[in-house]
Amino acid sequence: MSVLLGQGAGGAALALLPADTVVAAEDAWLAPLPPEGASVIMHRDVGHTAGMARGLQITAHDLQRLGAVDLVVPGPDGGPNSGPGTATSSGAYGRMAGLAEAAAGCLRAAVGLEPATRLAARRDRYHRLSP
């Protein structure tokens, strides 16, 4: 199981994806190149960062729709505008409880599977992501 909690960019961030199950916090994103960098490459300024982020489809919900993320855990307030700046102690606890529940479910699902079966399913999953 891999858990995406915040911002992830570059090859090291992409190394989080090859897992039996990928869980992401609602406000997490993952990209080979940050949207600011893509904006600078394409437009020579960071003024197009938001548009690049939308086009790259890097949000947790985008990645779930594309099949790279299995489960999105709601933010601290349970809404789409949640994030570190809005976290309260009870909201942060709620997110951690959601992540713990997801982890327990992933472990229960994986415990009875043979390693070869898990690896084959993982390989098939990522072949489906290829264009």
User: Which domain CATH number covers 66?
Assistant: 3.90.226.10
- Assign 3-class secondary structure to 18-69: CCCCEEEECCCEEECCCHHHHHHHHHCCCCCHHHHHHHHCCEHHHHHHHCCC
**If residue 41 lies in a helix (H) or strand (E), which one and from where to where?**
helix 35-43
pLDDT at residue 81 in the model: 45
Q: What is the pLDDT of residues 74-108, one digit of tens each?
A: 876 655 444 444 444 456 677 788 888 988 998 89
Q: The domain containing residue 50 runs over which residues?
A: 2-80+88-129
pLDDT greater than 50 at residue 4: yes
* pTM score, whole prediction: 0.78
- The answer to whether residues 125 and 67 touch, using CB atoms and an 8 Å cutoff, is yes
pLDDT in tens, 15-48: 888 888 999 999 999 998 999 999 999 999 999 9
Instruction: Render pLDDT for 51-60 as a digit per residue (tens, 0 to 9).
Output: 999 999 999 9
Domain count, the chain: 1
